[in-house]
């Protein structure tokens, strides 16, 4: 049997700053989507309560931030893993040769 090292890779520690930047980028993208939806709703004949629309826009922006947080956190955690069973055999998926 092979001995698998389960120690954390200390060469690249988890970077909270990168996660915060990803949250900011996600919120900015969510804000852009919310603005697009605002223009769409303003030009539609539907009558929607203003408070509900503001809460909806807030939800869209927060969803973008949460998406950025999840993506960057998972990316960093996958880089730090040392267990070879966790690594994919085809680690170059999606890259052109």
In a domain, 9, yes or no: no
The residues, any chain, with a CB within 8 Å of residue 27's CB and separated by 6 or more, are 61, 62, 64, 65, 68
Q: Domain count of the chain? A: 1
In a domain, 33, yes or no: yes
Q: What is the pLDDT of residues 82-94, one digit of tens each?
A: 777 766 665 555 5
In a domain, 74, yes or no: yes
- CA 13 to CA 1: how far, in whole Å? 29
In a domain, 91, yes or no: no
Give the structural domain span for 59.
16-80
Whether the model clears a pTM of 0.85, i.e. scores above it, the answer is no
Using DSSP, state whether 32 is helix, strand or coil: helix
In a domain, 31, yes or no: yes
pLDDT-derived band at 2, boundaries 50, 70, 90: low
Q: What is the pLDDT of residues 40-64, one digit of tens each?
A: 999 999 888 989 999 999 999 999 9
Q: Residues 73-79: what's their mean pLDDT?
A: 85
In a domain, 94, yes or no: no
Tell me the percentage of the chain whose pLDDT exceeds 70: 76
In a domain, 97, yes or no: no
Helical H runs in the chain? Answer: 16-42, 50-80
């Amino acid at each position: 049997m092979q001995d698998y090292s389960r120690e954390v890779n200390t060469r690249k520690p988890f970077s909270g700053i990168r996660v915060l930047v990803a949250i900011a980028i996600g919120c900015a993208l969510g804000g852009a989507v919310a603005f697009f939806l605002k223009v769409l709703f303003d030009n539609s004949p539907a009558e929607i309560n203003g408070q509900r629309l503001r809460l909806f826009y807030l939800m869209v922006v927060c969803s973008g931030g949460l998406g950025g947080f999840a993506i960057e956190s998972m990316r960093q955690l996958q880089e730090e893993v040392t267990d070879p069973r966790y690594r994919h055999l085809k680690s170059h998926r999606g890259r052109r040769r």
